[in-house]
Amino acid sequence: MSSRRRVAAAVILQNRQVLITQRHPDDEMGGKWEFPGGTIEAGESPETCLQRELREELGLDVAIHEQMAVVHHRYPEWEIELLAWRCSIRSGTVRLYVHQDCRWVAPEELELFDFLEADKPIIAILEKIPGMEFWACHEKDPVEKNLPEYPCPGTL
Residue spans of the domains in the chain: they are 3-127
> What gap in Å lies between CA 145 and CA 126, rounded to an integer?
23
For residues 156 and 141, give the distance between their C-alpha atoms in angstroms, rounded to a whole number. 25
pLDDT tens per residue across span 97-156: 888 899 999 988 999 999 999 999 999 988 877 653 454 444 444 334 444 444 555 443
CA neighbours within 13 Å on the CB side: how many for 29? 16
142-146 long-range CB contacts below 8 Å, 24 or more apart?
144/63, 144/88, 144/89, 144/90
82-91 tens-digit pLDDT = 999 999 999 9
Q: Summarize pLDDT for 30-62 with one digit per residue, the tens.
A: 899 999 999 999 999 999 999 999 999 999 999
Q: Measured in whole angstroms, how far is the alpha carbon of residue 33 from the centre of its chain?
A: 10
Cα distance between residue 12 and residue 128, in whole Å: 17
Question: Which amino acid, one-letter code, is at 65?
Answer: H
Q: Could you tell me which CATH class the domain 3-127 is placed in?
A: alpha beta
DSSP letter, residue 27: S
